[in-house]
Chains A and B, each alone.
Chain A
Amino acid sequence: MKALLSGNEAIARGAYENGVTVATAYPGTPSTEILENMVNYKDKIYCEWAPNEKVAMEVAIGASFGGARTLVAMKHVGLNVAADPFLTLSYTGVKGGMVVVSADDPSMHSSQNEQDNRHYARLAKVPMLEPSDSQEAKDFVGIALDISEQFDTPVLLRTTTRISHSKTVVELKDRREKPEPAEFERAPQKFVMIPGHARLRHIEVEERLKKLEEYANNAEINRIEWGDAKIGVITSGISYQYVKEAMPEASVLKLGLTYPLAKDLIRSFAEKVDTLFVVEELDPFLEEQIKAMGIKVTGKDKLPLIYEFDQGVIRERLLGEKRKEDNILSDVSLPPRPPVLCPGCPHRGVFYVLKKLKLVVTGDIGCYTLGVVPPLSAMDTTVCMGASVGMAFGAELALKDKIKHKVVGVIGDSTFIHSGITGLIDIVYNKGASTIIILDNRITGMTGHQDNPATGKTLMGERTHQLDLGEVARAVGVKNVRVIDPYDLEETERVIREEVAKDEPSVIITNRPCVLIVKDKEWDKYQVDQELCRSCGMCYKVGCSAIYKENGKAKIDTLFCTGCGVCQQVCKFNAIKKVGEEE
Chain B
Amino acid sequence: MNRITGIMIVGVGGQGVILASELLCEAAMRMGYDVKKSEVHGMAQRGGSVVSNVRFGEKVYSPLISKGEADILLSFEQLETLRWLDYIKPEGKIIVNMQKIMPMAVAIGQGEYPGDVFGILKRKTDKIYRVDGLGIATKAGNVKAVNVAVIGALSNYLDIPEGIWKEVIENRVPPKTLKINLTAFEMGRNYGQE
Contacts and interface: CB of A to CB of B under 8 A. Distances in A.
A374 to B, nearest CB: 7
A241 B113 CA distance: 37
A337 B80 contact: yes
Interface string A232-262: 0000001001101100000000000000000
Given A29-B42, A548-B106, A169 B62 contact: no
Contact of B79 (A161, A162, A328, A337): A337
A245 B34 CA distance: 14
Interface in A530-566: 537, 540-541, 543, 545, 547-549, 559
Contacts of B43: 29, 110, 339, 367, 370, 446
A241 B61 contact: yes
Interface residues of B, number: 55
B35 A167 contact: yes
A169 B34 contact: yes
A181 interface: no
B110 to A, nearest CB: 7
Interface string A314-357: 01000000011010110011111111111000000000000000
A311 interface: yes
A168 interface: yes
Contact of B107 (A338, A448, A540): A540
Nearest to A2: B29
A548 B107 contact: yes
Interface bin, chain A: 35 or more
Contacts of B66: 310-312, 315
Nearest to B103: A337
B13 interface: yes
A166 interface: yes
Contact of B63 (A110, A162, A335, A446): A162
Interface string B165-192: 0000000000000000000000000000
Given A4-B26, A241-B62, A445 B44 contact: yes
A373 interface: yes
A165 interface: yes
B85 A162 contact: no
B46 A339 contact: yes
Nearest to A28: B42
Given A167-B36, A448-B41, A340 B12 contact: no
B31 to A, nearest CB: 12
A465 B38 CA distance: 38
A339 B45 contact: yes
A375 interface: yes
Nearest to A324: B68
A412 interface: no
A480 interface: no
Contacts of B128: none
Contacts of A547: 107-108
A559 B143 contact: yes
B111 interface: yes
Interface in B91-128: 102-114, 120, 123-124
Report which residue of B62, B82, B111 has the largest number of chain A beta carbons within 10 angstroms of its beta carbon: B62
Contacts, number: 174
A328 B120 CA distance: 8
B86 interface: yes
A257 B174 CA distance: 41
Given A4-B25, A110-B42, A549 B109 contact: yes
B38 A166 contact: yes
Interface in B59-76: 60-64, 66-69
Given A166-B37, A324-B68, A328-B124, A30 B42 contact: yes
A340 B86 contact: no
A109 interface: yes
A458 interface: no
B45 A30 contact: no
Contacts of A339: 13, 43-48
Given A166-B36, A167-B36, A329-B82, A109 B42 contact: yes
A379 B68 CA distance: 39
Contacts of A166: 36-38, 63
Contact of A540 (B62, B63, B109): B109
B158 interface: no
Contacts of A337: 12, 47-49, 79-80, 83, 103-104
A310 B44 contact: no
A447 interface: yes
Contacts of A167: 22, 25, 35-38, 63
A169 B29 contact: yes
A334 B109 CA distance: 14
A448 B41 CA distance: 9
Nearest to A167: B37
Contacts of B123: 328
Contacts of A32: 42
B162 interface: no
B58 interface: no
28 contacts: A4-B29, A4-B37, A30-B40, A162-B38, A166-B36, A167-B63, A168-B35, A241-B62, A244-B61, A310-B64, A312-B66, A323-B67, A328-B85, A328-B124, A329-B85, A335-B106, A335-B113, A336-B105, A337-B49, A339-B13, A340-B46, A340-B48, A367-B43, A445-B44, A447-B42, A545-B104, A547-B108, A548-B102
Given A310-B64, A374-B105, A549-B108, 15 more contacts: A4-B35, A110-B43, A168-B35, A241-B61, A323-B67, A326-B86, A328-B85, A333-B114, A334-B83, A337-B48, A337-B80, A374-B104, A375-B104, A446-B42, A540-B109
Interface of B: 12-13, 22, 25-26, 29, 34-49, 60-64, 66-69, 79-80, 82-83, 85-86, 90, 102-114, 120, 123-124, 143
Interface of A: 2, 4, 29-30, 32, 109-110, 133, 161-162, 165-169, 238, 241-242, 244-245, 310-312, 315, 323-324, 326, 328-329, 332-342, 367, 370, 373-375, 445-448, 516, 537, 540-541, 543, 545, 547-549, 559
Listed from nearest, the 10 A-B pairs whose CB atoms lie closest are: A110-B42, A29-B42, A339-B48, A312-B66, A335-B111, A540-B108, A548-B107, A166-B63, A166-B38, A109-B40
